[in-house]
Protein backbone atom coordinates (compact mmCIF):
# COMPACT_ATOMS: atom_id res chain seq x y z
CA UNK A 1 0.00 0.00 0.00
CA UNK A 2 1.52 3.32 -1.02
CA UNK A 3 1.03 6.50 0.96
CA UNK A 4 1.72 10.22 0.64
CA UNK A 5 1.95 12.56 3.62
CA UNK A 6 1.13 16.25 3.27
CA UNK A 7 1.28 19.01 5.85
CA UNK A 8 -1.81 21.21 5.92
CA UNK A 9 -2.82 24.20 8.01
CA UNK A 10 -6.25 24.71 9.53
CA UNK A 11 -7.13 27.98 7.82
CA UNK A 12 -10.55 28.54 9.38
CA UNK A 13 -13.74 26.98 10.62
CA UNK A 14 -17.08 27.59 8.93
CA UNK A 15 -19.75 26.09 11.17
CA UNK A 16 -19.25 22.34 11.24
CA UNK A 17 -16.68 22.49 8.41
CA UNK A 18 -12.93 23.08 8.54
CA UNK A 19 -10.97 24.61 5.69
CA UNK A 20 -7.54 23.03 5.25
CA UNK A 21 -4.92 25.09 3.43
CA UNK A 22 -2.12 23.52 1.41
CA UNK A 23 1.25 25.17 0.74
CA UNK A 24 0.42 25.51 -2.97
CA UNK A 25 -2.67 27.61 -2.16
CA UNK A 26 -5.30 24.91 -2.61
CA UNK A 27 -7.96 24.38 0.01
CA UNK A 28 -9.93 21.36 1.13
CA UNK A 29 -13.15 21.55 3.13
CA UNK A 30 -13.76 18.66 5.55
CA UNK A 31 -16.16 17.88 8.36
CA UNK A 32 -14.83 19.44 11.55
CA UNK A 33 -15.52 16.24 13.51
CA UNK A 34 -12.93 14.41 11.38
CA UNK A 35 -10.16 16.49 12.94
CA UNK A 36 -8.31 15.60 16.14
CA UNK A 37 -9.91 17.00 19.31
CA UNK A 38 -8.94 20.54 20.32
CA UNK A 39 -7.64 21.38 16.82
CA UNK A 40 -7.53 25.13 16.35
CA UNK A 41 -7.11 27.60 13.51
CA UNK A 42 -3.47 27.85 12.49
CA UNK A 43 -2.66 24.31 13.61
CA UNK A 44 -0.54 22.16 11.33
CA UNK A 45 -1.72 18.63 10.57
CA UNK A 46 -0.25 15.67 8.77
CA UNK A 47 -2.64 14.47 6.09
CA UNK A 48 -1.88 10.91 4.99
CA UNK A 49 -3.31 9.67 1.70
CA UNK A 50 -3.31 5.93 1.12
CA UNK A 51 -4.36 3.75 -1.75
CA UNK A 52 -6.62 1.08 -0.29
CA UNK A 53 -7.08 -1.88 -2.57
CA UNK A 54 -7.82 -4.22 0.33
CA UNK A 55 -11.62 -4.10 -0.08
CA UNK A 56 -11.53 -4.71 -3.83
CA UNK A 57 -9.01 -7.56 -3.33
CA UNK A 58 -11.40 -9.23 -0.85
CA UNK A 59 -14.28 -8.90 -3.31
CA UNK A 60 -12.24 -10.54 -6.08
CA UNK A 61 -11.27 -13.41 -3.76
CA UNK A 62 -14.89 -13.89 -2.66
CA UNK A 63 -16.15 -13.84 -6.25
CA UNK A 64 -13.51 -16.37 -7.33
CA UNK A 65 -14.36 -18.67 -4.42
CA UNK A 66 -18.08 -18.44 -5.20
CA UNK A 67 -17.43 -19.26 -8.85
CA UNK A 68 -15.40 -22.32 -7.83
CA UNK A 69 -18.22 -23.49 -5.54
CA UNK A 70 -20.90 -22.93 -8.20
CA UNK A 71 -18.83 -24.71 -10.84
CA UNK A 72 -18.22 -27.67 -8.51
CA UNK A 73 -14.45 -27.33 -8.43
Domain CATH code at residue 53 = 2.40.50
The pLDDT, as a whole number, for residue 73 is 58
The confidence score (pLDDT) of residue 54 equals 65
Range of the domain at 45: 3-70
- Confidence at residue 67, expressed as pLDDT on a 0 to 100 scale: 80
Domain count, the chain: 1
At residue 11, φ and ψ (nearest 5 deg) are -75, -50
Nearest-angstrom CA–CA distance, 9 and 44: 5
Say what the pLDDT of residue 25 is. Answer: 94
pLDDT value at position 40? 96
E-only strand ranges, 1-73: 3-14, 17-21, 27-31, 44-50
List Cβ neighbours of 39 (8 Å cut-off, separation of 6 or more). Answer: 10, 18, 45
What residue ranges of the chain have pLDDT lower than 70?
1-2, 52-55, 73
- Look at residue 30 in the predicted model and tell me its pLDDT: 96
Dihedral sign of CA atoms 58, 63, 65, 66 in order: positive
Q: Specify the pLDDT at position 10.
A: 97
Amino acid sequence: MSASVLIVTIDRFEGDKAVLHFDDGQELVVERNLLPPQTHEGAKLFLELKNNNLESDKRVEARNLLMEILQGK
